Amino acid sequence: MEKSEITAIIEKLLEEIEEEDIGISLLTTHFQNQEELDFFQKEDKERVIHILEKLAEDSKRHKNILEKIISHLGDIAREK
């Protein structure tokens, strides 16, 4: 793989990290501002909050994985 190809992949992954950050921010906002979810019944609201929390956790894990991939690709690019 050429250095330019690695750089292009890294740039795309950086965009993906930005999208994960946006998702994390939005999800966190919604489960922190629980009054926005008041149109749900109490039981459903608790389920929705739990789902939002899990989605935020997953997004954080995805972001961490992407950062590790970028770091590894950066190491490869520097070797070239």
- Is the model's pLDDT at 11 over the cut of 90? yes
- So what's the pLDDT on residue 54? 94
Cβ partners under 8 Å of residue 80, min gap 6: 2, 3, 6
Quick one: tokens of 43? Answer: 């039981």
- In terms of pTM, does the model score above 0.85? no
- So what's the pLDDT on residue 65? 98
Question: For residue 8, what is the enclosing H or E element?
Answer: helix 3-32
Q: Helix 3-32 crosses helix 42-79 at what angle (to 10 degrees)?
A: 160
- So what's the pLDDT on residue 60? 96
- Is the model's pLDDT at 23 over the cut of 80? yes
